């Protein structure tokens, strides 16, 4: 008898087929919205495998309702949407999609940094709103990127890929990470600093750490006050790492200069969010990994992980 797999969102046909050729597959394809929680809880009851996205909360309730489940394949490198402890206790393998999205996410991080520094979105709106009446000396002036100091919080794969881009702009690069990486410091010409020192020294601060309860609001009022008044904060990791209320105050009062945000504490961000009222915030709808090739690679890797585990083989990228 074929094993059963539940897919929580409509996938590209090629990935769906890959799974449907091997398993009895059911897919939530009614809308391009997350599967309602009650339906997910009902559907997982009989499933051997679950293919899910970061929009699904796979908590204790969901996991305990899935007695046959052997694998949860998350189509994301981050897996803070899954209760890893419960999954591990139940012997369920959790997989993610590292590696395949590194370069694409680093591209977007640098694009957001540049757009924020040079007020690209604001300047485009300025033109379209008919405000461009003349060229003038200090009109829409931003911050320089070349030669500036970039502080990277989290020197994992994406952090390292960002270093390569920043080097092309002659940036001085410092980093903070749970563990120091001396060989990399030498090889890439980057310098380690404690978080406090990094916040004080950076012109740009890029957050690239995975989210967990330990780093919830790692950047709050105190940390924002340490930054330069000309500092630009870029978050392409997870919204919960930054205290948004404190960030709003810091941006409004000129404590820092600007922020570029691809991620939010609540996603999709509420359109009433005070952050969206500020001209010095560039906002994106969590598109760090959103290139056609990369999203296909992520879906494919998640599918391969699921196939491996259900065939009794080792997962390619296992989390727990
Ligand atoms: C991830 O993979 O965790 C990103 O946030 C989405 O690509």
Which CATH number do you get for residue 166? 3.40.50.720
pLDDT value at position 162? 98
Task: Please give the number of the atom of ligand 1 that sits closest to the Cα of 263.
Answer: 5
Q: What is the pLDDT of residues 296-305, one digit of tens each?
A: 999 999 999 9
Q: What is the pLDDT of residues 139-157, one digit of tens each?
A: 999 999 999 999 999 999 9
Q: What is the pLDDT of residues 30-86, one digit of tens each?
A: 999 999 999 999 999 999 999 999 999 999 999 999 999 999 999 999 999 999 999
One domain, residues 83 and 210: no
From the list 238, 255, 265, 295, the catalytic residue is 238
This model's pTM is above 0.95: yes
pLDDT value at position 115? 98
Q: What is the mean pLDDT of the chain?
A: 98
From the list 89, 131, 187, 267, the catalytic residue is 267
Q: What is the mean pLDDT of the segment spanning 273-298?
A: 98
Q: What is the mean pLDDT of the segment spanning 308-312?
A: 98
Output the CA 159–ligand 1 centroid distance in Å.
14
Evaluate whether residue 68 is within a structural domain.
yes
Q: How confident is the model at residue 121 (pLDDT cuts 50, 70, 90)?
A: very high
Nearest CA to ligand 1 atom 3: 78
Q: Which residues line ligand 1 (CB under 6 A)?
A: 54, 76-78, 101, 288-289
Annotated catalytic, 238?
A: yes
Output the CA 112–ligand 1 centroid distance in Å.
16
Q: What is the mean pLDDT of the segment spanning 73-100?
A: 98
Structure-block tokens of residue 60: 């204790």
Q: What ipTM did this prediction achieve?
A: 0.97
Annotated catalytic, 217?
A: no
One domain, residues 107 and 92: no
Q: What is the pLDDT of residues 203-250, one digit of tens each?
A: 999 999 999 999 999 999 999 999 999 999 999 999 999 999 999 999
Gap between the Cα atoms of 24 and 196, Å rounded:
52
Output the CA 66–ligand 1 centroid distance in Å.
25
Domain range for 130 is 102-283
One domain, residues 10 and 47: yes
One domain, residues 257 and 302: no
Q: What is the DSSP string of 220-285?
A: -HHHHHHS-TT-EEEE-S-GGGB-HHHHHHHHHTTSSSEEEES--SSSSPPTT-GGGG-TTEEE--
One domain, residues 259 and 305: no
Using only the alpha carbons of the chain, give its radius of gyration: 21
Annotated catalytic, 286?
A: yes
From the list 255, 286, 295, 304, the catalytic residue is 286
Q: How many CB atoms lie within 10 A of CB 319?
A: 18
One domain, residues 250 and 266: yes
Gap between the Cα atoms of 143 and 318, Å rounded:
41
One domain, residues 118 and 222: yes
One domain, residues 59 and 124: no
Which residue stretches of 118-210 are H helix? 120-128, 157-167, 182-188, 195-201
Domain count, the chain: 2
Nearest CA to ligand 1 atom 2: 76
Output the CA 77–ligand 1 centroid distance in Å.
5
Evaluate whether residue 33 is within a structural domain.
yes
Gap between the Cα atoms of 161 and 166, Å rounded:
9
Output the CA 133–ligand 1 centroid distance in Å.
41
The 8-class DSSP code of residue 119 comes to: T
pLDDT value at position 273? 97
One domain, residues 158 and 202: yes
One domain, residues 179 and 46: no
Evaluate whether residue 318 is within a structural domain.
no
Evaluate whether residue 73 is within a structural domain.
yes
One domain, residues 142 and 258: yes
pLDDT value at position 300? 98
Evaluate whether residue 56 is within a structural domain.
yes
Q: What is the mean pLDDT of the segment spanning 80-106?
A: 98
One domain, residues 88 and 126: no
Gap between the Cα atoms of 94 and 86, Å rounded:
11
Q: What is the pLDDT of residues 157-174, one digit of tens each?
A: 999 999 999 999 999 999
């Amino acid at each position: 008898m074929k094993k059963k797999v539940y897919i929580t969102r409509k996938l590209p046909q090629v990935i769906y087929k890959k799974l449907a050729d091997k398993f009895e597959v059911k897919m939530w394809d009614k809308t391009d919205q997350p599967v309602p929680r009650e339906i997910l809880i009902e559907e997982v009851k009989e499933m051997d495998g679950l293919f899910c996205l970061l929009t699904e909360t796979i908590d204790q309730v969901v996991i305990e309702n899935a007695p046959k489940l052997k694998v949860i394949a998350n189509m994301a490198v981050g897996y803070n949407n899954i209760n890893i402890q419960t999954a591990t206790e139940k012997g369920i393998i959790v997989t993610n999609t590292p590696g395949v999205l590194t370069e694409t996410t680093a591209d977007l991080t640098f694009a957001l940094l540049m757009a924020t520094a040079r007020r690209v979105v604001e300047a485009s709106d300025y033109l379209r709103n008919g405000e461009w009446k003349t060229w003038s000396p200090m009109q829409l002036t931003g911050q320089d990127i070349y030669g500036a100091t970039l502080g990277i919080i989290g020197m994992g794969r994406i952090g390292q890929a960002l270093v390569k881009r920043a080097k092309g702009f002659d940036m001085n690069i410092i980093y903070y990470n749970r563990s120091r990486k001396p060989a990399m410091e030498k090889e890439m010409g980057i310098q380690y600093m404690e978080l406090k020192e990094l916040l004080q020294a950076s012109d740009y601060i890029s957050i690239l750490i995975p989210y967990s309860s330990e780093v919830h609001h790692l950047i709050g009022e105190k940390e924002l006050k340490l930054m330069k008044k000309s500092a630009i904060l870029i978050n392409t990791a997870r919204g919960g790492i930054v205290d948004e209320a404190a960030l709003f105050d810091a941006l409004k009062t000129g404590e820092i200069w600007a922020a570029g945000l691809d991620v939010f504490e609540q996603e999709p961000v509420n359109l009433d969010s005070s952050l969206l009222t500020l001209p010095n915030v560039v906002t994106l709808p969590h598109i760090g990994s959103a290139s056609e090739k990369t999203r296909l690679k992520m879906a494919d890797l998640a599918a391969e992980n699921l196939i491996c585990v259900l065939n009794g083989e080792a997962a390619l990228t296992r989390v727990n």
